[in-house]
Structure 1
């Protein structure tokens, strides 16, 4: 059987969990870039660094700032980097999903006009973060069953 260039897993198509992590990473990169494009981002002239006073809206709906867009770009690059391995893809989707659920909870409890809303977040962002959190967690958990231990329980003795 042909092995990969590094002698690890057999060469062939990437597991779905890796493809999903890469796709999520690409979407975050795209969103990060589009947040800096006038026209796609309405009220672009009101884009601010890191405050709830930024009145720029991605697609006219989601409140964004320079920091918000930078976080999307970073998260996208992180996703692409972590998608290179099965374990990295699992961690990216699982931990990233948990982080977005935490961000949803944060956005849910803060007052939108207070100084703690530095990212900034509006109600549309909150609902999007809820969906992203559950979606990423679901992808990480459901697609991970197809790779790894071959359907048997993993024990520390089995690990290299």
Structure 2
């Protein structure tokens, strides 16, 4: 009985959804760190804690603030922690994908100059959030289903 459970554990240890969640979590962690690096983040001197007045842009494209960078760091750490199990990795990708789709809708509904734009978000962020939402949700669903078949 013990020998038959070993291959199952070895399979779940290398499950593709866990690998993808680890990669996504690591990328978010790096993005959060790079958001605090002058040069990688343009107009770094104008970075604010929160709000749309921050003119700092990660790679000159994505508007960031201290809060935005901290959220990326926390989201990355969460991904790395949840990737320790198949269920956690799937929950991270599916849940994170859903969060990013909601964030995309929020970014569309709230103007970039609105006081409600506290993260801050710009057009480039909105398109990235759409892609992340679809990609993470899709990978979380497909990778688990595909390996179960």
Q: TM-score range by the shorter chain?
A: over 0.9
Partner of 2:76: 76
Cα distance in 2 between the residues matched to 1:49 and 1:23: 27
How far off its partner does 1:141 sit? Answer: 0.8
How far off its partner does 1:2 sit? Answer: 7.5
How far off its partner does 1:11 sit? Answer: 2.7
Q: CA RMSD in A?
A: 1.6
Aligned residues, how many? 146
Alpha-carbon displacement from aligned partner over 1:84-129 (angstroms, at most 9, x marks no partner): 0000011000010000000000000111111100000000000000
TM-score after normalising by structure 1? 0.86
How far off its partner does 1:9 sit? Answer: 3.7
Partner of 1:157: none
| Residue 5 (structure 2) pairs with residue 10 (structure 1) | no
User: Which protein shows a greater Rg?
Assistant: 1
Cα distance in 1 between the residues matched to 2:30 and 2:19: 16
How far off its partner does 1:146 sit? Answer: 3.8
CA contact (8 A) 1:2 1:10 kept: no
Partner of 2:87: 87
Q: Which runs of 5+ in 2 are unaligned?
A: none
Cα distance in 1 between the residues matched to 2:64 and 2:9: 43
How far off its partner does 1:14 sit? Answer: 1.1
Q: Which runs of 5+ in 1 are unaligned?
A: 152-160
How far off its partner does 1:145 sit? Answer: 1.4
Cα distance in 2 between the residues matched to 1:62 and 1:3: 47
Q: Which consecutive segments of 4 or more residues in structure 1 shift more than 2 A? A: 1-4, 8-13
CA contact (8 A) 1:65 1:119 kept: yes
